[in-house]
Amino acid sequence: MGFSTIAAMMSGAAAVEAGALLSAISTIGLEMSLVGAVTGSKGLMKLGGVMGLVGGVGGLINGAVSGAASATAESAMGLGTDASSLGAVNGMDAMSDAFVSSGASGAGGFGAEAVNGLNAINGSDAMSDAFTATKTEGSFGGWASAADDAKKALDMTDATGALPVANTPDAFTFNAAKYSQAFNPSTAFGDATRPLDASATGAAQASTGSAGNNLIAYSADGSKIPYRPDNGLYGTVTAQAPKDYFTSFLDWVKNKDNSQIMMLGAGALKGISERSMFDEKMAMEKSRYQYGNTVANFQGRQPLIGARA
Amino acid sequence: MLNDKANPLLMKTEQASRAKVAPDQKAAYDKIVAAGVKLMYSEKLHKMLLEQLRQPGDPATVAGQGVAKLLGIMMNQAKGTFPMKAGIPAATALLCEALDMLDQLGKIKVTNDTVSAAMQSLGSSLLQLFGVTPQKLDSILSKQASPAQSAMQSKNTAQNAANPTPAPTRPGPQPLIGAPA
């Protein structure tokens, strides 16, 4: 399973809410600091500290702004005490059993899940049906007929087979006969029963929500980009190297003038604190005022003492 | 989850990580680790594991990426109910498990640097799986900074609407002191 595929599935199927994201960043930072402390790695501790700062301050701001949302996220993401969270964790055992027994590297199981996940992301059942047909039939005849079905589903009635691609400016010509000769699943996929997966390009496009006919990468002239087994299913082509990733992150932190993150966090917290104090004071004044209204502190229409009748 | 024969450094790391897990998260942590180990060594995922081990580059870095992907699969299966505060420490435990396996296979020699590199890789891979980029953080912070005040104001307005302050009752006209009736 490729890195990009998992990332695409996560971004499409289970979008991480901002508060949970910041909480995750903070937790990852904490873990990195902790492991850095155990191994004596100052670099890891520093990185963890930065991540904790970013996630922590961001989480505080986010929590202050949307308390209800954060509370929901907390209960969902899991203090572990609520039923849904524990249920999910308990269910994980069953999930792993089912996952294992279903054949993660076979034609069903997680492969099917991956197809469903990609369907949800790119919204094209037709193309996945085409792929499923290809996968199960194991011959390109299946692909050609499935491609026809896909064309019908996409309402493309051009007799020449011109298949406009939503995310490219120019339509490319889709010639089923040509691909029926050029495409050999036994060599292209290696193992016909391997789970269907998107290529790196396909997954990247899928994550952007572009149209669904992009699960196989094509070059501009319509020729299929050679399948790279190591990059498609199990590859890490889109995973940035840790050093590069954290360098960009640290640069981002450095580029904030006078640690803008801290200022942002501190400013927000100061405002929240002041607002909180103001609210408390107003609440006290309000209760005092209301109490005053319940007590007759004036006498109303009465002849004043000493006044003439 | 590591047995007594595991590398002492890895055991120490795992124990330190587990010790920091909140008490109410321990059960979730244990279950995630158990499920992760089960998946890691499952026959069906064997191929994925081997492919992962064949990845070019530093084995420790590759292990970190692999564990991140494993966690990503589990999170995806949990459909948004994955307890993050237990899951991230559990990923550290799974990383220790993977490093121990690589150590026993003779692929790596577990040292402080190896564990650090693997943890860095795990952290970076997880953050990338979550889609965390500087641009994303910029957008989150800019979104959170501006509505802060308006959110406060709307909260106050809502409170005032729910509990309207009673208008002060004026005592009304009273005869002036010394005035004729």
Question: Per the CB < 8 Å rule, is A1 touching B69?
Answer: yes
Domain that holds residue B17: 8-135
The structural domain count of chain B equals 1
The tens digit of pLDDT for each residue in B6-40 reads 788 999 999 999 998 989 989 999 999 999 998 88
Identify whether B141 is part of a domain: no
Question: Per the CB < 8 Å rule, is A31 touching B86?
Answer: no
Strand, helix or coil for residue B27: helix
Q: Which residues of B touch A7 (CB under 8 A)?
A: 72, 128-129, 131
The tens digit of pLDDT for each residue in B138-154 reads 776 676 556 554 555 55
CA distance A80 to A1: 29
Identify whether B68 is part of a domain: yes
CA distance B47 to B34: 20
Residue B125 DSSP one-character state: H
The tens digit of pLDDT for each residue in B69-122 reads 888 888 888 777 788 888 999 999 999 999 998 888 888 899 999 999 999 999
Q: Are B108 and B50 in contact (CB under 8 A)?
A: no
Q: How many CB atoms lie within 10 A of CB A29?
A: 23
Q: Which residues of B touch A273 (CB under 8 A)?
A: none
Cβ-Cβ contacts under 8 Å for A132 (sequence gap 6 or more): A115, A146, A196
pTM, whole model, 2 decimals? 0.51
Q: Average of pLDDT values for B32-53?
A: 83
CA distance B56 to B59: 8
CA distance B23 to A92: 20
Question: Per the CB < 8 Å rule, is B140 touching A22?
Answer: yes
Question: Per the CB < 8 Å rule, is A117 touching B76?
Answer: yes
How far apart are the CA of B90 and the nearest CA of chain A, in angstroms? 10
Q: Which residues of B touch A101 (CB under 8 A)?
A: 44
- The residue behind tokens 């590591």 is B2
Nearest CA in chain A to B36: A96
Identify whether B166 is part of a domain: no
**Could you tell me which residues are beta bridge partners of residue A163?**
A172
pLDDT score at B114: 92
Farthest-apart Cα atoms in chain B, separation: 111
Handedness of CA A125, A130, A132, A133 (dihedral sign): positive
CA distance B175 to B25: 72
Mutate to test the interface with B, among A25, A81, A96 (most CBs of B within 10 A): A96
How far apart are the CA of B159 and the nearest CA of chain A, in angstroms? 11
CA distance B28 to A138: 42
Handedness of CA A154, A159, A162, A164 (dihedral sign): negative
- Encode chain A (309 residues) as per-residue pLDDT tens digits: 566 666 666 655 445 566 677 778 888 888 898 999 999 988 888 888 888 777 665 555 544 444 433 333 333 333 333 333 334 444 444 444 444 444 333 333 333 333 333 333 343 343 334 334 334 344 333 334 444 444 444 444 344 444 444 444 444 444 444 444 444 444 444 444 434 444 444 444 434 443 333 334 444 555 544 444 333 333 444 567 887 888 887 777 777 654 556 544 444 455 545 556 666 767 777 776 666 666 665 556 666 667 666
